[in-house]
Amino acid sequence: MKAAYIEQTGPPDVIQYADLPRPEPQPGEVLVRVGAVAVNPIDTYIRGGANYFPLPKPYVIGCDLAGVVEAVGPTPGHFKVGDRVWGSNQGLAGRQGTFAEYAAVNEEWLYATPSNVTDQQAAAAALVALTAHLGLVREAQLKPGDVLFVNGGSGGVGSTVVQLGKALGARVVATAGSPEKLSACRDLGADLARRERVLGNDARP
């Protein structure tokens, strides 16, 4: 299979694109035929040499993906061949990443892709959506009627927090750094969007 991988960490030019053996799903895993991936800041940190954990060699980069289950491991779980799935956290903690034609992924990192969502949309939302959900639901336990402040509501995680906060019934107040980004926050559902405060200047609408 074709894959983007590294043999050593470093600048972007350490990334190689060539053939690697197609992985075989192990117990608890499925083999995903990758339809789309996304690039996150952590992907660039790991490729650049951030010493978070040991990396296998060669190491397929990337942690987000969406695609279709191609095969299941020797202990089938709740996904079957042909299911559309999305997920994140794959290329972390020593696991092989997602920037390849196929990825063997433990089922605990995968979710069913809704029929009205494309692979590109699912992959693009993967890590930011999980981050927003964990923060708002598991940690903050956001409830209808709560006021939610989002500092930087037009970024990847911030824009997802705005949308999820509104879906959970909160009143959402967001900041952003330009009129265009403020407009984007409002389009995403923010009840109030204000200009970020800049070194001694008052916030501007």
| Mean pLDDT, each 10-residue run in order, the chain (205 residues) | 97 98 96 97 95 93 97 92 96 95 97 97 95 96 97 94 98 96 97 77 47
pLDDT given for residue 196 in this prediction: 77
pLDDT given for residue 203 in this prediction: 45
pLDDT given for residue 205 in this prediction: 46
User: φ and ψ at 19, to 5 degrees?
Assistant: -85, 135
Pairing mode, strands 65-72 and 59-60: unpaired
pLDDT given for residue 51 in this prediction: 86
Distance, CA of 65 to CA of 34 (rounded, Å): 7
pLDDT given for residue 75 in this prediction: 86
pLDDT given for residue 41 in this prediction: 92
CATH of the domain spanning 2-119 = 3.90.180.10
User: φ and ψ at 200, to 5 degrees?
Assistant: 90, -15
Task: State the span(s) of the chain assigned CATH 3.40.50.720.
Answer: 142-195
Q: What's the whole-model pTM score?
A: 0.85
**Token output for 1:** 């299979």
Task: State the span(s) of the chain assigned CATH 3.90.180.10.
Answer: 2-119
pLDDT given for residue 198 in this prediction: 56
As its CATH architecture, domain 142-195 has 3-Layer(aba) Sandwich (3.40)
3-state secondary structure of 119: helix
pLDDT given for residue 197 in this prediction: 67
pLDDT given for residue 187 in this prediction: 97
Residue 136's contacts (CB-CB under 8 Å, 6 or more residues apart) are 142, 148, 161, 164, 165, 168
